[in-house]
Amino acid sequence: MTTEPDPRHWRRARRLLAAVLAALFAALLAYRVLHAGHLEQTALFYVGIPAVIAITVALTARPKSATGLIMAVVTVGLALSGPLLGEGVVCLVVAAPLFYLVGLVFGLLIDRARRRDDRRGAHLLIAPLLLLMVAEGATEATSLPRDTTVSAVRATAGADVERALAGTPSFGPFRSAFLRAGFPVPVAAEGEGLEVGAVRRITFTPRRSLGIGARPEPRSMTLRVKQRAAGLAVFEVVADTTLARWLHLREARFAWTDAELTVSLRYRRTFDPAWYFGPVQAYGAGQAAGYLAETFTR
């Protein structure tokens, strides 16, 4: 004896499928619009797209839990974004927590409103929240301070820091788990000397995006000695195809005594919102400063 499928089950399944497809299409359309407007590094992109997914799901489906469905759609969207949009592993790893967080916030608000049957109240909460979250970075007036300096200190342990800095750098593997997550690795270096104007050119592993048919893109960084004094060498970044997609590195400052070396990196944050990307970029730059300090005190 067979049981006929419940028509309501199939209608619900079709609605959910339609909601998923509509949300992904809306997110892709939002990406294209923001990319065309050069807004792909603003909060409007990193907060707006998961918000578009959440709102589209809420308007096109009535699942038992909007939060669960939003999380599922965000997961599918992130999995597809690499091959379809040509993103790299680092971009996905860094952006994923923010996408999930925004989706979670809007999902919980939607589910709360449905339980209380208070859609008007949900609109009053979601609209100003969305406006506040996506406004940052869209214009200079809505941007928070971007210039940042991070430092790392390492004991010299008897190493001749000045001699190491004056020679051609020899880089080892990353020990930081964060940097090993897909950040570019220095593989070769040219140049020597610490007199003002001396140049270093560092070649990194090529960028390999997840885009279909994407080719590796060469990456390098050129630095020039900007300032020199006893126990001090400051390198300014004059060309960079390595970190430019991540942040604008301005200078690397090396200050040393017989006991310790301090490496300071000055950079300009390029991504919004600041409350998320500020700490993430500061942590990554701090790890890079630590790696440089270890390189020249080995």
pLDDT in tens, 102-126: 888 888 887 877 776 655 555 555 5
pLDDT in tens, 25-75: 777 777 777 777 777 666 777 777 777 777 777 667 666 777 888 888 888
3-state secondary structure the chain: CCCCCCHHHHHHHHHHHHHHHHHHHHHHHHHHHHHHCCCCCCHHHHCHHHHHHHHHHHHHCCCCCHHHHHHHHHHHHHHHHHHHHCCCHHHHHHHHHHHHHHHHHHHHHHHHHHHCCCHHHHHHHHHHHHHHHHHCCCCHHHCCCCEEEEEEEEECCCCCHHHHHHCCCCCCCCCCCCHHHCCCCEEEEECCCCCCCCEEEEEEEEECCCCCCCCCEEEEEEEEEEEEECCEEEEEEEEECCCCCCEEEEEEEEEECCCEEEEEEEEEECCCCHHHHHHHHHHHHHHHHHHHHHHCCC
